[in-house]
Amino acid sequence: MLHTLVSDYQATINAFLKGQNFGEQPTELYEPIRYILGLGGKRMRPLLTLMAHHIYKDLDHSAVAVAAGVEVFHNFSLLHDDIMDNAPMRRGQPTVHEKWDANVAILSGDVMLVRAYQLMMQVPDHNLRTILGRFSEVAAQVCEGQQWDMNFEGYKEISKEHYLEMIKLKTAVLLGFALEMGAVTANANEADRAILNEVGIKAGLGFQLMDDLLDVYGEADKFGKMVGGDIVANKKTFLLLEALTLAKDTPLEAELDFWLNYKGEDKVEKVRIVTAIYNTFGVKETTEALISQYFQEAMVALSSLNVQHPERKLPLMKLLVQLMSRES
């Protein structure tokens, strides 16, 4: 049932997006939008919106339009993130700023943000203020998270708590919003909306930590990019912060510091040694335990949702289980 529902909802989202006329001229402004949305992806965020809506009622136009708005906003953020990260590839294809240029990517992203608002306005008037108000709040939080992420590159030390707050803003709040909007478009009460928002935030924290884990311990052919990329880039992930904490005042502190300041070309050796340090301190197991904790908290919150047809929560529960055990 889950596979069928996911496939149906993904097809619904893709068909809706394909049917949108984002604009035609100038082509340099609108073609990148069609390009980035055409690269596909799992459509996880709009999928969450539709699954939350499904808990209460069958799909309607407003739910699909809001879900599409969530996806357009997410892809807008990717366009701008790729510029800031100077990323050459996205989903196995050249990024927009590489295929065109940074100015085109900025402007196309700006239009996507506007279009996201227009999509979310396709709801009954009684939901309009709630949806646009929450969207504005969450959009600003995502920007805050991205700024913190960039700030961290220049910080010598950050706490694990600060890192978790950053990924909450950058990643998790949008998942919480996606689920909450499914409840809003189904006219659910405020208590249910708050619970679904919490489910998304907890799952989003676990999802991003899983991304950190897979970057080091995933299989390259399944993960879809070079394993160890975060280590090479000295990205301050939860794994690195945990290792830095545990290595302090031990013989491995100097070795970890050496590789963090390494300017040589042997990336494979750097990944091998830093991963070995992670293994020494059980960083993988600690991260896995935290991922499990967040997903379990999401499941407990979802279980507490008191709805007329509890069986309609099962597809979302199964999806959360899949996200927790994903390999890519």
The structural domains of the chain, with segments of one domain joined by +, span 2-324
Whole-prediction pTM: 0.94
Residue 328 is predicted with a pLDDT of 66
Provide the Cα torsion 238, 242, 245, 248; round to 10°. Answer: -120
- What's residue 113's pLDDT? 98
pLDDT of 83: 94
Residue 225: φ, ψ to 5°: -155, 175
Digit-coded pLDDT (tens) for 7-25? 999 999 999 999 999 999 9
Crossing angle, helix 173-185 and helix 61-85, to 10 degrees?
170
Series of mean pLDDT values for 10-residue runs along the chain (328 residues): 84 96 95 94 95 96 98 96 88 90 96 98 97 98 96 92 98 98 98 98 97 90 69 94 97 96 94 97 98 97 96 94 82
What confidence score (pLDDT) does residue 324 get?
85
CB 217 within 8 A of CB 238: no
What is the Cα–Cα distance from 300 to 199, expressed in whole angstroms? 8
CB 135 within 8 A of CB 117: yes
What was the pLDDT predicted at 54?
Answer: 96
**CATH no. for 2-324:** 1.10.600.10
Number of alpha carbons in the 13 Å side-chain half-sphere of residue 243: 27
CB under 8 Å to 48, separation ≥6 — which residues?
A: 175, 178, 179, 182, 200, 316, 319
